[in-house]
Structure 1
């Protein structure tokens, strides 16, 4: 009798563990569906009446500026090109009229010192009810390349724009949010921010975006008690000039498609993938062995590098027939 009871207990324990193991992915999927499609976005005007968007003249940043304006927020637009900033401002005024106030801030994050960035931002936002900050400005390689091929000027610019720019602008804005005990900060990362896989041939860019993820996670804990929600959002491929992808699709959204998803997540998790097809891609990637992902990505980026070199060679050879020969050592690396 005792033996039968012991067997029953073992069977019950195994069945319970099996049931729990089965329920976890089901509950996780239900939670994912609710968050992606049914969870109510926060009213961003509750954070404040003004939003700051960096890198707002093209791509995701420009689309986010329009989305924030559609929610009734006034905008501080930060960029390095005065004419592009003016064009963005005019387009926003044309669509939303006088109901959206704007201020343009011309800063070259690749050339300005941290103190200059911070001082400029403090002067501009003085007296404004800043509620949302979107650190979107980013710089990447013009094409895939090995680490030793990245010239020092490009390397320094990527680090200054992607890391120092976001850090110093946030440092200037945080005191305003702390004073009123509310605010939301969004740092736009990349696939490398989530630690899903390695990014060979885009090493420095990927590393700077990974910084944003850890930085966001840490300062979110520091300032949560002050009513400030800080997160890093992870976009995968989006059809922008930076990605050089022109055609939008389900898994490669337009900046407008991505920005709509982005706004739904502001104020929630410290690390998130706002666009649901990207989230599906991340889940699949996470399930794959690292060795398989690394090799596939390395080959994929090698192909991108080869195409860029061939294109560059064709252009240059028109002016210098010896140019193609000078690139032979690079093609040998493929």
Structure 2
């Protein structure tokens, strides 16, 4: 190989390593820096969808800890009230709740819920929107094995509802010339070239990433930060991975809130950053083969669980109980 070609490849490699090192140092610097005052920078209220469990619950608590009043949007009124009471009791901020089954978006019931959401935020200084609500089930299935309506529900929640809620909140941010929109994405679209047996889920999350990037470009000059935040490990994969890679929702939420306003696409948690970096070195064909094998294993487990629920065993128990 000619000397100039060696030099060329060495230069490309050095630039790639330098880029990775820069991103790592930037991440560490942000972790050490004093968090941004979200209330002063963006506004006194935040809207969050899907706040009753998991990452949504943790992010709602973290935003309240940062002093933001909250509009909580979810489908279960009892759970919404529980979250509202807990936030008021722990952090002393104001809360409002909007009952909205996002899977009904673009139906008569969904239009009525959207009207209630617009009424709830009317006159509020909404500075932050967190589109957290998402559906990843049914999963670990071939496309022909899934009922079409289940897939359409996923599309409506992950894609259509996210778009409509964002469109409802943006006009107020534009009038105030400030705001932040945070859309929760997925590592299935960022770090890996394929996510077999979760095809529709991965496709909807790819939409979230592209949608966020374009809105970032459109609205940055208007004082509005738009961002897609990515987590790398889903709950379905936790038991099959080394525990070091499993990060709880509270840790994810702390990192997520700290990263608001820092770029159009980010992986807030350092452990997930390292996973993303490692995944880039795996040849595509090996990654495809590994993920297909892992998801086929999940498919077998889920089929066993569904069968167990359909045929409970005696003594008031079931094989699901025994499996866990």
TM value normalised by structure 2: 0.86
> Which of 99, 102, 107 is residue 95 of structure 2 equivalent to?
102
Distance 1:76 1:103, change over 3 A: same
Return the alpha-carbon distance in structure 2 between the equivalents of residues 295 and 13 of structure 1: 32
Return the alpha-carbon distance in structure 2 between the equivalents of residues 191 and 23 of structure 1: 24
8 Å contact from structure 2 (residues 74, 80) kept in 1 = yes
Cross-structure match for 1:119: 115
Deviation string, structure 1 residues 230-255 (Cα, Å, up to 9, x no partner): 0101111255xxx4858994311111
Cross-structure match for 2:232: 236
8 Å contact from structure 1 (residues 109, 165) kept in 2 = yes
Cross-structure match for 1:285: 279
Distance 1:15 1:296, change over 3 A: closer
Shift of 1:158: 0.4
Distance 1:28 1:115, change over 3 A: same
Cross-structure match for 1:265: 259
Return the alpha-carbon distance in structure 1 between the equivalents of residues 297 and 4 of structure 2: 54
Is 1:82 the equivalent of 2:74?
no
RMSD over aligned Cα atoms? 2.5
Cross-structure match for 1:22: 14
Is 1:212 the equivalent of 2:204?
no
SS of the residue aligned with 2:102? coil
8 Å contact from structure 1 (residues 51, 73) kept in 2 = yes
Deviation string, structure 1 residues 50-78 (Cα, Å, up to 9, x no partner): 00110000000010000000000000000
SS of the residue aligned with 1:287? coil
Return the alpha-carbon distance in structure 1 between the equivalents of residues 122 and 172 of structure 2: 9
8 Å contact from structure 1 (residues 248, 254) kept in 2 = no
8 Å contact from structure 1 (residues 195, 210) kept in 2 = no
Shift of 1:196: 2.4
Distance 1:254 1:290, change over 3 A: same
TM value normalised by structure 1: 0.84
8 Å contact from structure 1 (residues 143, 308) kept in 2 = no
Cross-structure match for 2:27: 35
Distance 1:250 1:244, change over 3 A: closer
Shift of 1:144: 1.2
Deviation string, structure 1 residues 24-43 (Cα, Å, up to 9, x no partner): 52464144223233344322
Cross-structure match for 1:306: 300
Distance 1:31 1:38, change over 3 A: farther
Shift of 1:309: 0.9
Shift of 1:128: 0.1
8 Å contact from structure 1 (residues 119, 172) kept in 2 = no
Return the alpha-carbon distance in structure 1 between the equivalents of residues 166 and 309 of structure 2: 42
8 Å contact from structure 1 (residues 117, 168) kept in 2 = no
8 Å contact from structure 1 (residues 63, 255) kept in 2 = yes
Count of residues in Structure 1 that have an aligned counterpart in Structure 2: 305
Cross-structure match for 1:297: 291
SS of the residue aligned with 1:206? helix
Shift of 1:15: 7.0
Cross-structure match for 2:134: 138
Return the alpha-carbon distance in structure 2 between the equivalents of residues 142 and 19 of structure 1: 45
Return the alpha-carbon distance in structure 1 between the equivalents of residues 161 and 177 of structure 2: 24
8 Å contact from structure 2 (residues 51, 72) kept in 1 = yes
Structure 2 unaligned spans of 5+: 314-324
Distance 1:13 1:40, change over 3 A: farther
SS of the residue aligned with 1:312? helix
Distance 1:210 1:20, change over 3 A: closer
Return the alpha-carbon distance in structure 1 between the equivalents of residues 10 and 71 of structure 2: 54
Return the alpha-carbon distance in structure 2 between the equivalents of residues 145 and 12 of structure 1: 50
